[in-house]
């Protein structure tokens, strides 16, 4: 058998003992070093951009509950949510810093959870609040603030005809106390609706002309 030497294998000494292999340090010219640096840099930049985009939101106002047309705008009716929308859309919405006058009202109903558009606001000029005193059984159970109703005025015992016109059409309910809080003296339920002033005058004249008026509320879906 021939003797194994350093020259034949390069890994074993003449005495047969394996030669120690030492790891060499990567130099600054080593491409692996620069690949690692690039990966770290990309990760840092991507993380910074992700965090910046997460904070790129704006506060806007959202209706806390259903709000009827004619209701005066009040901070208690609104919440603030953070959204990320285009500048074009944001310009159509109101936010916590929007300057609103004291006579500002909702000109159309706004549903609970809806982002409040500037187009839904206007002045209270031309709208008045009319109280209705109604027998509890003449009011649908689902009528509450924010509902839209038609109000009919009939003589007691009179039948409603198909051609009957409402005394108030598409009136917005701005207040609807709980049925349990009926007026003690009369046992009737009160509703408050917002209507144009001319409609309010016509309604009051109709009720005043009836000897025994029966007011019936019909809720619009």
pLDDT digits (tens, 9 = 90+) for 103-138: 788 877 888 889 998 888 877 667 788 999 888 888
Least confident of 91-95, 101-105, 125-129, 154-158: 154-158
- For the chain, percent of residues with pLDDT exceeding 90: 4
Q: pLDDT confidence of 151, banded at 50, 70, 90?
A: very high
Positive or negative torsion for Cα 8, 9, 15, 16? negative
Q: Nearest CA to 167 among 123, 108, 221, 210? A: 210
Contacts 24+ apart (CB under 8 A), 177-182: 179/136, 179/139, 179/141, 182/136
- In whole angstroms, give the CA distance from residue 123 to residue 82: 27
Least confident of 34-48, 71-85, 94-108, 198-212: 34-48
> Is the per-residue pLDDT at 24 higher than 60?
no
Q: What is the reported pLDDT for 47?
A: 67
| 8 Å CB contact between 167 and 202 | yes
| 8 Å CB contact between 194 and 176 | no
Q: Nearest CA to 122 among 109, 141, 145, 103? A: 103
Q: Which residue has the higher pLDDT, 8 or 119?
A: 119
Q: Which residue has the higher pLDDT, 188 or 131?
A: 131
> Is the per-residue pLDDT at 149 higher than 80?
yes
Task: Collapse the DSSP code of 96 into the 3-class scheme (helix H, G, I; strand E, B; otherwise coil) and give the result.
Answer: coil
């Amino acid at each position: 058998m021939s003797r194994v030497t350093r020259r034949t294998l390069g890994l074993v000494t003449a005495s047969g003992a394996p030669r120690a292999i030492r790891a060499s340090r990567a130099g600054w010219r080593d491409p692996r070093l620069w690949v690692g640096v690039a990966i770290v840099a990309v990760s840092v930049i991507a993380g910074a951009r992700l965090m910046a985009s997460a904070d790129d939101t704006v506060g806007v106002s959202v209706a806390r509950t259903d709000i009827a047309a004619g209701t005066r705008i009040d901070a208690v009716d609104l919440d603030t949510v953070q959204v990320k929308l285009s500048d074009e859309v944001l310009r159509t919405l109101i936010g916590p810093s929007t300057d609103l006058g004291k006579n500002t009202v909702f000109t159309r109903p706004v549903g609970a959870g809806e982002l409040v558009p500037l187009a839904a606001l206007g002045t209270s000029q031309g709208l008045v609040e009319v109280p209705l005193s109604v027998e509890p059984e003449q009011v649908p159970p689902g009528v509450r603030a924010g509902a839209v109703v038609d109000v009919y005025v009939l003589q007691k015992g009179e039948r409603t005809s198909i051609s009957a016109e409402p005394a108030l059409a598409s009136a917005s309910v701005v207040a609807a106390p709980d049925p349990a809080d009926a007026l003690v003296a009369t046992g009737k339920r009160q509703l408050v609706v917002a209507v144009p002033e001319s409609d309010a005058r016509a309604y009051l004249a109709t009720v005043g002309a009836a000897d025994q008026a029966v007011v019936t509320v019909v809720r619009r879906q």
